Amino acid sequence: MAYSLKTRLSVFGSCEGILDNTNKEFLGKSSDVSNQIRLSHWNVEPPRPMSINAQASICISKAQRWWEKTLKPNMVEIHSAKELKDSLLNAGDRLVIIDFYSPGCGGCRALHPKISQLADSNPDAIFLKVNYEELKAMCHALRIHVLPFFRFYRGAEGKVCSFSCTNATIKKFKNALGRYGTDRCSIGPAKGLDESELLALASIGQLSRNELSMDYPVKKNGFEEFVLSGLDLSDNNMGLKESTELLMA
């Protein structure tokens, strides 16, 4: 712990000492003063009490927070809905795992070292870390209501599984990693978030029109067609249901 301490000392007043005249040996010579002078014969004020002003400032170095410890190169902190969307779309065919956690969650803290170990042993997978307290609105839109929580995405398949687990049920995480982390190839670009999730994020202003522009598959007259969104749902107060109905119209 690094710290700096600053102390100021100010002393007010002076002290004068007067020796009683007595017969003493001083440097081998006798000193005899017949007329003793006592302090009471002098008009001397007693010394003022010493005044000490101490000011201390301690600078404590910021300790590393638990969710920042043992991070691996393939573990990335997400700070916005746009970062999350772009990270999923740019992952290609690689397995992406979203780790939803909270700094105050004891289960998240206990599980973090094991997740870091699994990230280290699976360097081809991407681990996206989402701080629930920092991105609470986004997590609500994605229906994250329990922590720790994980979502697995893989290329054109999009979300392949999601679940909550703790140290006691870490086997669930390992099984999903073994199943979806193997070499596989999916046809088409990475899907990322579901359309309903993108609409939900847009409806609360987490994504803008440019970030939402994409083709949505809809059915018309029994045939599947694609329409370009082009909607700026962040400029109004429409809910997810109304937004979907407008998009499908």
**Catalytic residue positions?**
105, 108
Find out whether 229 and 247 touch, Cβ atoms under 8 Å. yes
Helix residue spans in 12-158 (DSSP H) = 81-89, 106-121, 136-141
Q: How far apart are CA 78 and CA 127, in angstroms?
A: 10
Distance CA 177, CA 125 (A): 9
Rounded to the nearest 10°, the torsion over CA 198, 203, 206, 209 is 80
Take residue 140 and report the two structure tokens written for it. 């609500």
**Contact criterion met (CB below 8 Å) for 206 and 137:** yes
CB 55 within 8 A of CB 7: yes
The CA-atom distances, in angstroms, between 132 and each of 98, 102, 248 are 12, 5, 32
Task: Check whether the bond before 46 is cis (ω within 30° of 0).
Answer: no
Structure tokens at 88: 């999923």
DSSP per-residue codes, 189-237: S---S-HHHHHHHHHTTSS-HHHH--EEEEEETTEEEEEE----GGGS-
